[in-house]
Amino acid sequence: MRWIGFLSLVALSECLVTIPLTKVKSMRESLREKNLLRDYLQRHPYSHAYKFLSREGVTFQPMRNYLDLYYVGTISIGTPPQEFKVIFDTGSADLWVPSIYCSSPACVTHKNFNPQRSSTFQRTDQPIELLYGSASMTGQLGYDDVRIGDLVCKSQAFGLSWTESSKSLEFSAFDGILGLAYPSLAIKDTTPLFDSMWKQGLISENLFAFYLSSNKKNGSVVMFGGVDHSYYRGELQWVPVSEQGYWQITVDSISMDGKVVACPDSCQAILDTGTSLVIGPANAILNILRNISANTTRSGEYIVSCDAIQSLPDIVFTINGVAYPVPARAYIRRKRTGMCYPNLDMDSPDGSSRWILGDVFLRLYFTVFNRANNTIGLAPAMA
């Protein structure tokens, strides 16, 4: 996880008619046949329709796109439930939210969990500290019931913050982080939330998937326990996870206009929903910037001509023999100032060869994170 900058309940049951010996189509089936399903979900991104339209063992959690920087969904903790907005982050493995014990400015501006108001809260004396790319938190470990949509994970481990660093947390549109990486990255002797879903029999398949909307549109969703095929085109291409910590894969090469510009002998990459940009080693990113004729400003930022976006080449990530192009409209962003900036960043110049494929990449490709066989499925996302 890295930070880069920063109805009403519808009584659908009244509409259902049961006729002996006749199969009645569900609302989901009827909408899909008329090619209206995704439009309906986008118009009602926070409605309870997700619950009613999901099949048994699959839960759809809508998320809001905040300025193409990050995606935020709502969960609740405790009994009665206390709601929080969180980033569903495949780049970390722990769940934490602000608590009433925190005095940091970031806690003042966000909702705080009050364990005294939850009859199911279990306190521990275990302190925790979580470090992210541009922020950190300290706090204590607790256990309580956590709800995502119609799922309830009993006695789930989570962090209650005491301190939260950085301005990015203070002014963020989210309260906390919900990690979805492998257990090896989690706090020692705790079970991450997704693993709890599976162990407690709440989902039908040991996987989850992301559809991230582009251009600040509604309709983003994370689905647990199954895959909705209406969110992507063609067939999913499966890629083996190369190391089970982050969701890490092997990239064959990175090219532009048929010429390899980075990763000539393969490299490792992390698919990270908690990172907004594409991040790579300094030398590789600099080579890409040269290929798009980027210039530096007095402040050291890289800019490109906005008029050139239509003619700039795709950045093509070849993964497991399949090409995944990222067009200039995705890797270049236009600011209100009229300037255009690459959605690319350099990792610390320590010789690391690992890439981070963040939301710039994931908005283009529907992504399935399959723990059953430790693979990642990729397919072009529906526009």
296-325 residue pLDDT tens = 888 888 999 898 899 999 999 999 999 999
**Summary mean pLDDT of the chain:** 85
Domain 232-380: give its CATH superfamily: Acid Proteases (2.40.70.10)
- Give which of 360, 362, 366 is closest to 381, Cα–Cα: 366
Spatial distance between the Cα atoms of 377 and 365, rounded to a whole number of angstroms? 9
pLDDT, residue 22, reads: 31
At 192-217, the pLDDT tens digits run: 999 999 999 999 999 999 999 986 67
Model confidence pLDDT, tens digit, residues 67-106: 888 999 999 999 999 999 999 999 999 999 999 999 899 9
The average pLDDT across 129-155 equals 92
**Each residue of 37-57: pLDDT tens digit?**
455 444 444 333 333 344 556
CATH 2.40.70.10 positions along the chain are 59-227, 232-380
314 is annotated as an active-site residue: no
So what's the pLDDT on residue 286?
Answer: 95
pLDDT at 67: 87
pTM: 0.85
**Would you state the pLDDT for residue 57?**
63
pLDDT-derived band at 4 (thresholds 50, 70, 90) equals: very low
In sequence order, the β-bridge partners of residue 13 are: none
The catalytic residue among 175, 228, 252, 272 is 272
- pLDDT at position 328 is 96
pLDDT tens digits, one per residue of 232-270: 999 999 999 999 999 999 999 999 999 999 999 999 999
Q: What is the mean pLDDT of residues 371-382?
A: 97
CATH topology of domain 59-227: Cathepsin D, subunit A; domain 1 (2.40.70)
* 272 included as an active-site residue: yes
Residue 291, CA distances (Å) to 89, 262, 317 in order: 31, 11, 15
- Active-site residue among 68, 89, 144, 145? 89
